[in-house]
Amino acid sequence: MLFSARIWFTLGFLFCAGLIGAALYFQHVQGLDPCPLCISQRIAVILAGSVFLAAALHNPGRTGIRVYAILGFLASIAGAAVASRHVWLQHLPPEEVPACGPGLDYMFSNFPFMQTLHFMLSGTGDCAKVDWTLLGFSMPVWTLLCFLFMAAASLAQFWNVKKHHRNVLYRI
For 125-165, what is each residue's pLDDT tens digit?
A: 577 777 887 898 999 999 999 999 999 999 888 777 654 44
**Per-residue model confidence (pLDDT) at position 19:** 97
Burial class of 29 by CB neighbour count within 10 A (0 to 12, 13 to 18, 19+) = exposed
| Fold (CATH) for 5-162 | Bromodomain-like (1.20.1550)
Give the Cα separation of 113 and 100 in Å (integer).
19
Which residue numbers in the chain have pLDDT < 70? 1-2, 97-106, 108, 119-125, 161-172
Exposure string for 106-121, b = 16+ CB within 10 A, e = fewer = ebeeeeeeeebeebbe
**Per-residue model confidence (pLDDT) at position 131:** 83
**Per-residue model confidence (pLDDT) at position 129:** 79
**Per-residue model confidence (pLDDT) at position 167:** 44
How is 115-150 classified by DSSP, letter by letter?
Answer: HHHHHHHH--HHHH----EETTEEHHHHHHHHHHHH
Give the Cα separation of 109 and 38 in Å (integer).
19
- For 91, other C-beta atoms within 10 Å of its C-beta total 11
**Per-residue model confidence (pLDDT) at position 92:** 79
**Per-residue model confidence (pLDDT) at position 136:** 86
Give the Cα separation of 126 and 34 in Å (integer).
9
pTM of the predicted structure, to 2 decimals: 0.79
Ordered by start, the domain boundaries in the chain are: 5-162
